[in-house]
Amino acid sequence: MDSGNTAWVLISAALVMLMTPGLAFFYGGMSRAKSVLNMMLMSFTSIAIVSVLWVVAGYSLTFGEGYGPLAPFLGDLSSAGLTDLIGTGEGIPDLAFAGFQMMFAVITVALISGAVADRAKFGAWLLFVPVWALLVYFPVAHWVWSGTGWIFNLGVIDFAGGTAVHINAGIAALALTLVLGRRKGFGSESMRPHNLPFVLLGAALLWFGWFGFNAGSGLAADGTAALAFVNTQVATAAATGAWMLVERIRYGKVTALGFASGAIAGLVAITPAAASLTPLGSIALGLVAGGVCAYAISWKFRFKYDDALDVVGIHLVGGIIGSLAIGLLAASTGASVTEDDGLLYGGGIGLLGLQAAAVLAVLAYSFVVTFVIAKVIDLVMGFRIPEHVETNGLDHELHSETAYAFDELDEIETAAELPSPTPPGEGKASQQVGS
């Protein structure tokens, strides 16, 4: 047992766990004030549901060897409950790895929620979470990261989740928006973020936690972790600059929301490539991802799909850019996880072709299965809230709570505007003094 590597993996798992509350702040701040609690609860309930499901069956379905001809596509139930992992493992405990990967499953599901802000039934979401994890996330993660997975055995590189996490969640978000339809007033009413400090706080927590997401994915405190750590930082920094430059050119202003969104775009793009690129290559990737994603978020208005919090424009697009960038910018340095150079470093087109094939496979599978899941839930119990609930706000209508006590504030302001009551006898005394 390697105590140093074990400590690093456990700390990284805790950092990835922190990312989902960070996502709740990020999404909550981008939501409207009347639905912020509902938005944040969608992330927090994903933690609860997926964590239990991961122990019961998720880890085994993802990393189990599988049965016969199905082995390349799905694991088995040999490790259901994780009991057989207790006290096992070489280098790091198997339970440490299982706990680390649990946090990836949690945040992947939570990412989808931002696309359907303001209009999804909470009960339908609670049903969607375990069904999507079972039918989409666990199989795709098996393809990409399991030793028997077909994408893994092709030689495709996805160090920390460009395909399994971001493309998977991003295309699922698109499918869900098509089933639920557009929000009332989409394209004609202002739907600006209600709390930009929340957005910046959420982005900061995500950025911090992402070091565990990327640098921890090598499962060792070594040179590969150091490379992933540095690449994560510089790609994210470059992406913020590119996003702000696009904002300045298009709108003449630089915004806090743009900075935060640019950071997330950079983090998404570097995720699959964190241990395959040089720091200079990571800066180039960040610049491309930040600039392209800054344009991509406006596609929803052109194509009329209501991706409320830009999950498609950032996670889907950023994930595709990062996954394909490996085929172009991969450098076989001493700490790199790739043995082949990318096309721009003198390698052939083979690696780029493999990366593209994995991207297309995940896009097709996740979109189709997610669309079917959402359609079935919509037919069985309805996925979209009634119009009056959307108008009044999901927090009050679905949870009997509000994030902000606006009624109390109104009462305080009204009371402050009224003249102060005169104590008995003072009015007469003041009249006598005046006379």
Tokens of 126: 């609670």
Per-residue pLDDT of the chain (435 residues; tens, 9 = 90+): 899 999 999 999 999 999 999 999 999 999 999 999 999 999 999 999 999 999 999 999 999 999 999 999 999 999 999 999 999 999 999 999 999 999 999 999 999 999 999 999 999 999 999 999 999 999 999 999 999 999 999 999 999 999 999 999 999 999 999 999 999 999 888 899 999 999 999 999 999 999 999 999 999 999 999 999 999 999 999 999 999 999 999 999 999 999 999 999 999 999 999 999 999 999 999 999 999 999 999 999 999 999 999 999 999 999 999 999 999 999 998 788 988 899 999 888 999 999 999 999 999 999 999 999 999 999 999 999 999 999 999 999 999 999 998 666 566 566 666 665 555 555 444 444 443
Neighbours of 378 (CB within 10 A): 15
Nearest-angstrom CA–CA distance, 15 and 228 = 15
What is the CATH T-level fold of the domain 3-69+86-399, as seen in this structure? Answer: Ammonium transporter fold (1.10.3430)
Domain locations along the chain? 3-69+86-399
307 in Cβ contact with 115 (< 8 Å): yes
Residue 404 — left, alpha, or beta (φ > 0 → left; ψ -120 to 50 → alpha)?
A: beta
Torsion-angle region of residue 37: left (phi > 0), alpha (psi -120 to 50) or beta? alpha
Between CA 27 and CA 308 the distance in angstroms is 10
- Kindly report the pTM of this predicted structure: 0.93
pLDDT at 422: 54
Quickly list DSSP for 150-219.
Answer: HHHHHT---SS-IIIIIIHHHHHHHHHHHHH-PPTTTTTS----S-HHHHHHHHHHHHHHHHHHHHGGGS
Angle between helices 223-251 and 256-270 (to 10 degrees): 140
- Tokens at 171, concatenated: 């295309």
Residue 90 CB partners (closer than 8 Å, separation 6+): 1
Residue 262 to residue 217: CA distance in whole angstroms: 23
Looking at residue 190, what is its pLDDT? 82
Q: Integer distance in angstroms from the first to the last C-alpha of the chain?
A: 94
Partnered with residue 120 across adjacent β-strands are: 384
**Separation of alpha carbons 407 and 425, rounded Å:** 34
11 exposed, middle or buried (CB, 10 Å; 0-12, 13-18, 19+)?
middle
HSE (CB half, 13 Å, CA atoms) of 178? 15
